[in-house]
Amino acid sequence: MGELYTRAVEFYDEIWALKDPRVDDWFMMSSPVPSIVICIAYVVFIKLGPTIMKDRKPVEMRNILLVFNFLMVGLSTYCFVEFGMAGWFTGYTFGCEEVDYSNSPKAMRMVNVCWWFYFSKFIELFDTIFFVLRKKFNQCSFLHVFHHAIMPASWWFGVRFVAGGFGTFHSLLNSFIHLMMYTYYFLAALGPKYQKYLWWKKYMTKMQIIQFLLVTIHSVQLLYMRDCNYPRLFAYWILAYAVIFLVMFANFYVQAYRKKPAQVKGSEDHRNGSVSANGESSRRHAAKHHKKH
């Protein structure tokens, strides 16, 4: 047992020696523990949400949502532009792109946007917290909560060890997706008269699917590049993440938008026809029974 503990400590020391010294003094970068604790607390709160709100009225927060979504549009736009200008629009290739660990202005610009992207994942946790406070529990799906819960903790390791290079391709795409998503949320929060501008809702899920498909293809290629020095452990993690969410979002899309016409029609007939007819029949029967007696 003692030998196992010693090996674990040695392994930890070896891994920790690979950390990026440029972020040693940055907020929340000294240890992964705070990030992990916040993610766990988030899941616990969401799990207890229905109990907490059971005897409470939904919280009215239209103005809060407007401000929050507007600010998130700005932050997502910033991250998308910065990921592009720090690499993907200014010289990065879609093949092997190693991390630049120098202190050059461009390298530090990439580190900076990586940290902001990481920190934005904590801010995004409020999406689900707002659902709970508004008693929109149906929005707190496993897909939604799982997606939000693992991103902050996993991205701590991204900033701490590989702030730049190959692995930031998915963050570039994700920033753009969130830019579109929070724009949709902002318009939705404006009220019913803006519903006509939200016809593109289902295309958001398609964009998510395309995002994870592109990340999967991009990540797979590194498995065949023997001379690329980008850490393969992170490539495996990004690939696994992309595949899992590709499957989950595709399943969600099929369930939400691709039901068989016969099933949908049958369901509509049941709601709008059969149930109404049965209800009318019951009312007539009750009226006759009342008159008879």
Q: Which of 147, 170, 178, 218 is flagged as catalytic?
A: 147
CA of 265: how far to CAs of 213, 215, 259, 277, 279, in Å?
A: 32, 37, 10, 16, 20
Cα separation of 191 and 289, whole Å?
Answer: 47
Q: Which amino acid is at 270?
A: H
Cα separation of 96 and 221, whole Å?
Answer: 9
Radius of gyration of the chain (CA): 25
H-run or E-run covering 151: helix 142-161
Work out the angle between the directed axes of helices 201-220 and 232-257 (0-180°, nearest 10). Answer: 150
H-run or E-run covering 118: helix 105-123
Cα separation of 83 and 66, whole Å?
Answer: 26
Neighbour count for residue 98 (Cβ, 10 Å) = 13
Catalytic-residue membership of 178? no
Cα separation of 78 and 179, whole Å?
Answer: 9
Q: Which residues are catalytically annotated?
A: 147
